[in-house]
A and B are shown apart, each in its own frame.
Chain A
Amino acid sequence: MTEGQERLRARRVFEVLRPGPLTTVQDAGRRGVAALGVPRAGALDGPAYRWANALVGNDSSGAAGGSAPGTAVGAASGAAVLEATTGNLALRAVGGDAWIAVTGAPAPVRVDGRPVAWCAPVRVRAGEVLEVGAVTAGVRCYVAVDGGFEVAPVLGSRSADLLAGLGPAPLSAGMRLPLGAPGTLGALGPGSAERSPLAGPPAELVLRLTPGPRRDWFEPESLAALGRARYRVSPASNRVGLRLADGPPLRRREGLGELPSEGMVLGAVQVPPDGMPVVFLADHPTTGGYPVVGVVPEADLAAAAQAAPGTPVRLLPTARLDV
């Protein structure tokens, strides 16, 4: 074996034994590239992402801080974690010990078969298997490891973007995920976790709706009734958008023709011709041609990321722009 291979062997890796239905690498996402048609991507549940990183001593900051416009590419975008949709994940620590923490949707966590704490730093020794079971509520678990998952960054971020196909592919069995330099969390150790600041998955999802650019595209009566409408989260929801179903369609005024494509933001509520609102999440397209009736503030989107299909949804229109 060559010296290079020896070094490679010494490197810490998590080997994927069971990938779960959809597990992706995510960090704070890509910034400064929307004008090139590149979605932001990044963890859907921001607080859970940051909490998982904090528990293992990682930095979650995605701030490009002080760079010139368009040069944010290549800047750090926070430590990368795994976003496991509905859990069901098994990973083996190879090449060294690691601190891990699982946050987000509650799920049983085991190391070599023994139950360990959720939402707390846990030591996984080299050779041991970390298992995250099926979520008991919510949708997305976050698995952080000290040093972060060090897959190759693309345009300044390690996030998988499922719309544009950028970044690492979703996890598959046999994949080996390299870890960054081990942290210094040993001093903290298990039991140091504070109480999780995360709200549980919502029984009813209430999303504030701040003013959007194309309210005038909708019938006034239909628009006025929006605050009273009841929807449910559609099973067709994904990282691109939370789709609302089982509620009244938002009717467009007639004779408006087609809207030329315009820039879209995180949380924009787009209304396609069928009238069923779609709340844009991290992998949303950067431009779109359906009218945006309003925008859900970023602070409300973590709950949206954890709302399982069938969850009742209400929109709460507000005139305020200072949420």
Chain B
Amino acid sequence: MSGAEPEALGRAAAKAPGRPTVRPMGARALLAEVDSDEQVAALLGDLMQRQHQGLLGPDVELVPAARTVLVDGLTDARERSTLTAWLGAWEPHSAQAGTGPLVEIPTVYDGEDLAEVARLWGVPPEEAVRRHAACSFRVAFCGFAPGFAYLTGLPDEFAVPRRATPRTRVPAGSVALAGAYTGVYPGPSPGGWQLIGRTAVRLWDTDRTPAAMLTPGTRVRFVPVAPTPGAKGEAT
């Protein structure tokens, strides 16, 4: 750093062992970084509770991601300093896995990349399906597109790379893997995830509240079903 640069500029606040790292995100937001997706879920839950208790403004938005929770819409320095102090004292814990609502997603496991995923896992495709459907998933966060949920629950050793060349069009309802995440494409879009199956469930509907079926904290299971005759292709 050059000597002319103010010392605190963009630096993370000093991190107590095991406590969140608090990073500035401009004047109205901050980013709290923790060590695992379980801790993200726990921190998000605790922050939502603080908001319910009126300790965070009603218009503050909480946006969880892989290792962070964004707190956006802070109105003044006092709210920021109170929150920073609270985060500095936050005890890392894991969210209780069984607390969110449970959604079952009927899935036809016939994705174009199923064979490749099975090869990466070193098992036959039927076994890959059995393993995926046996997992309990939880929505860690949403992003990429409205209603696109990043689901955790697949063991780390099942992580798969994204496709070297993304597809220009992935059909709505595609069930796909990237890293250790599972996702379901809410609408047709380009995408680089490995497609393992498809569902007819409508994940995104702006006439519904909430519009997204899979919101952070929701528990998810994929239930293998046989393809409906004549329903091959886009599942909407």
Contact = CB atoms under 8 A, between A and B. Distances in A.
Contact of B215 (A36, A65, A292): A36
B65 A262 contact: yes
A216 B68 contact: no
A113 interface: no
Given A154-B206, A211-B9, A211-B10, A286 B63 contact: yes
* Interface size, A (range): 35 or more
Contacts of B66: 260-262
B159 to A, nearest CB: 13
A41 B146 CA distance: 13
B27 interface: yes
Interface in B130-147: 141-147
Given A36-B147, A213-B23, 17 more contacts: A35-B64, A69-B51, A73-B211, A154-B206, A155-B211, A166-B146, A213-B25, A216-B12, A221-B2, A224-B4, A260-B67, A261-B150, A262-B66, A263-B65, A263-B68, A293-B10, A296-B26
Given A212-B24, A265-B70, A322-B27, A36 B65 contact: no
A249 to B, nearest CB: 19
A31 B48 CA distance: 16
A164 interface: yes
A285 interface: yes
A238 B25 CA distance: 22
Contacts of B31: 213, 262-263
B72 A319 contact: no
B8 interface: yes
Interface string B25-65: 11111010100000000000000100110000011111111
B17 interface: no
Contacts of B23: 213-214
A317 interface: yes
A37 B146 contact: yes
B156 interface: no
Given A37-B146, A154-B206, A220-B1, A268 B61 contact: no
B195 to A, nearest CB: 20
A213 B25 CA distance: 6
Contacts of A155: 206, 211
B50 to A, nearest CB: 10
Interface string A218-236: 0011011000000000000
